[in-house]
């Protein structure tokens, strides 16, 4: 286990946190997942004696901030447009000077936009599948340029919402129609055929990778949150490959302006063994099926301790610097 993960807790006194608002629910397409994650986080904090309360959505958060009833916020509000991963919540909390978990305004906003995240990664030399912005009018031309198979998805959604894997030209129009149900631009990228992996980030440490083996062909919404037959192999790789995916994931996380904790999704090409970055999740799921708790457990960190370690990143150090900064 790395020194960063095995380091002692910065505090064991729940009183240092004051009253913690667990921000959950909201109105995004990921509301139900967020409610589930939030309940788990709330229970974990309360089990360790933290004065924690649930706050459902951004309007309720604004009221709590205006009333001065919370000292810091554990953000487990997934998604955007009423979710907590697009920088809006972070900006609100910054305005009130209230510490919060996870990435700042820029890292949150950038990571929610898969197209701009890919632009940043490509600019700094990190590997990610080739892509195009697409519309219904140009989807066939762009697919011809990239070469089938491709993946079509909304640029601003998570939890595999609105995603299609297209292996022939006939499926392109339907894929665009599905993705277009959600706002924002549409992204088409080359499909990487191989192993689907994810790397959780905690502070400055990449936790053991997880290789995801769904019973069906794809790791979709059902496989993520409902099915009980998805296999999670942790660590997902061995030796130098495991070290390399950790390095790439941490570099991708930092390049996107992220901090605190999160999760980086990666594909490994079956033919070449090369890694390709897909996206960053800045407020990952904390459900019974979620991947960050699984990776933490492999590193010897139980769920309650994981939640505590994420929250204590909001504390200010002796020299006046926030561990969140």
Is 203 designated active site?
no
- DSSP designation for 181: T
Rounded to 5 degrees, φ, ψ at 275 are: -95, 145
To the query of whether residue 279 is one of the catalytic residues in this protein, the response is yes
* DSSP track, 119-178: HHHHHTT-----EEEE-TTTHHHHHHHH-SSEEEEETT--TTTT-EEE-SGGGHHHHHHH
285 is an active site residue: yes
Q: Report the distance separating Cα 212 and Cα 190, nearest Å.
A: 20
Strands 19-24 and 51-56: parallel
Catalytic residue among 285, 290, 309, 312: 285
How far apart are alpha carbons 296 and 5 in whole angstroms?
A: 9
**Per-residue CA distances from 242 to 195, 197, 285 (Å):** 13, 11, 23
Q: Which among 265, 268, 290, 312 is annotated as catalytic?
A: 265
Using a 10 angstrom Cβ sphere, with 0-12 exposed, 13-18 middle and 19 or more buried, the burial of residue 42 is buried
Q: Catalytic: which of 36, 113, 279, 312?
A: 279
Token output for 262: 């999160």
Beta-bridge partners for 2? none
Q: Is 225 a catalytic residue?
A: yes
**94 included as an active-site residue:** no
Active site residue 263: yes
Tokens of 148: 């089938």
Annotated active-site residue in 40, 281, 309, 312:
281
Is position 159 annotated as part of the catalytic site? yes
From 28, 75, 111, 159, the catalytic residue = 159
Backbone angles phi, psi at 72, to 5 degrees: -160, 165
Active-site annotation holder among 21, 25, 29, 30: 30
Distance CA 312, CA 18 (A): 12
* Active-site option among 100, 225, 276, 312: 225
Catalytic status, residue 281: yes
Task: Write out the catalytic residue numbers.
Answer: 30, 159, 225, 263, 265, 279, 281, 285
């Amino acid at each position: 286990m790395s020194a960063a993960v095995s380091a002692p807790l910065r505090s064991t006194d729940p009183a240092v946190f004051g009253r913690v608002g667990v921000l959950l629910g909201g109105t995004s397409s990921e509301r139900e997942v967020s409610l589930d994650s939030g309940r788990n986080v709330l229970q974990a904090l309360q089990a360790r004696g933290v004065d924690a309360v649930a706050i459902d959505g951004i309007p309720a958060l604004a009221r709590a901030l205006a009333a001065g009833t919370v000292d810091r916020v554990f953000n487990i509000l997934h998604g955007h447009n009423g979710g907590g991963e697009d920088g809006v919540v972070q900006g609100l909390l910054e305005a009130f000077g209230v510490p919060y978990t996870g990435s700042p305004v820029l890292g949150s906003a950038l990571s929610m936009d898969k197209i701009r995240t890919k632009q940043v990664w490509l600019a700094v030399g990190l590997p990610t599948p080739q892509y195009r912005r697409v519309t219904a009018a140009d989807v066939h031309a762009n697919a011809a340029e990239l070469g089938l198979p491709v993946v079509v998805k909304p640029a601003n959604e998570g939890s595999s919402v609105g995603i299609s894997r297209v292996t022939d030209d006939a499926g392109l129009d339907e894929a665009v129609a599905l993705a277009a149900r959600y706002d924002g631009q549409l992204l088409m990228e080359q499909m990487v055929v191989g192993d689907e992996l994810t790397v959780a980030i905690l502070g400055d440490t990449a936790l053991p990778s997880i290789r995801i083996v769904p019973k069906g062909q794809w790791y979709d919404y059902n496989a993520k949150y409902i099915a009980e037959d998805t296999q999670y192999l942790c660590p997902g790789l061995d030796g130098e490959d495991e070290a390399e995916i950790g390095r790439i994931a941490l570099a991708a996380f930092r390049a996107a302006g992220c901090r605190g904790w999160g999760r980086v999704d990666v594909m490994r090409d079956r033919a070449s063994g090369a890694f390709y970055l897909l996206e960053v999740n800045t407020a990952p799921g904390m459900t019974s099926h979620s991947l960050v708790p699984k990776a933490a457990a492999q590193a010897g960190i139980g769920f309650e301790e994981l939640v505590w370690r994420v929250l204590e990143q909001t504390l200010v150090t002796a020299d006046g610097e926030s561990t969140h900064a």
